[in-house]
Chain A
Amino acid sequence: AQSVAQPEDQVNVAEGNPLTVKCTYSVSGNPYLFWYVQYPNRGLQFLLKYITGDNLVKGSYGFEAEFNKSQTSFHLKKPSALVSDSALYFCAVRDTFSGGYNKLIFGAGTRLAVHP
């Protein structure tokens, strides 16, 4: 079965330190991978995506993600965390059985807390 796993419910980081939010996936074929961020009482906002090409993908707000095919991972990273980065982060993978309808399979989400 196709799935996305975010093994950490919460990640705590001090402001200025690097952060990593983990994501692993299981799909048939080549994965299309996404990261979204959700601020309190808001909808999801797109951060970045991997379709093909460079394994290091750069996105919005200074975030980047590294695609690792052998480890089936797509971890989200940022070199220096800000308090304003505190939010709920979702990893998602395109359902390869969706016939082009771009149905996304979401992970359960990881809450990032950046402390001053």
Chain B
Amino acid sequence: NAGVTQTPKFRVLKTGQSMTLLCAQDMNHEYMYWYRQDPGMGLRLIHYSVGEGTTAKGEVPDGYNVSRLKKQNFLLGLESAAPSQTSVYFCASFTPQETQYFGPGTRLLVL
């Protein structure tokens, strides 16, 4: 039981490039979340999903897109990366009776 995994662990992008971050969970959780963590700001919710095929906007969705084609995977896409998207990205999964389980994070640097 691997819990929540994220790939890649670290990535450097140039402004304007695109990339996709993958989150996978093997706990059969319905709800999955993407957060970004910036110094002094805690975690802010980007997008979330309450089940396969569903997505919704969080607190800071601009510049990101997501997809949940399979229950166990939640993808976060950056179509045209900007330096303001330099951050650490965390994925989490959750069922209503439990707490959120977090992945190890992806460090993204946009030059």
Contacts and interface: CB of A to CB of B under 8 A. Distances in A.
A101 B48 contact: yes
SS class of chain B's interface: helix, strand, loop or mixed?
A: strand
Contacts of B104: 41-43
19 contacts: A4-B42, A9-B40, A36-B102, A42-B105, A43-B4, A43-B102, A43-B104, A44-B92, A46-B100, A90-B42, A101-B31, A101-B48, A101-B56, A102-B96, A102-B100, A104-B43, A106-B43, A106-B44, A108-B40
Interface in B29-77: 31, 33, 40-45, 48, 50, 56, 58
A34 B94 CA distance: 14
Contacts of A36: 102
Interface of B: 4, 31, 33, 40-45, 48, 50, 56, 58, 90, 92, 94, 96, 99-105
Which one of B44, B58, B94, B102 has the highest number of Cβ atoms from chain A below 10 Å of its Cβ?
A: B102
Contacts, number: 51
B41 A108 contact: yes
Nearest to A104: B100
A79 to B, nearest CB: 24
A109 B37 CA distance: 10
Contacts of A43: 4, 90, 102-105
Given A101-B48, A101-B50, A102-B96, A45 B102 contact: yes
Contacts of B33: 103
A22 interface: no
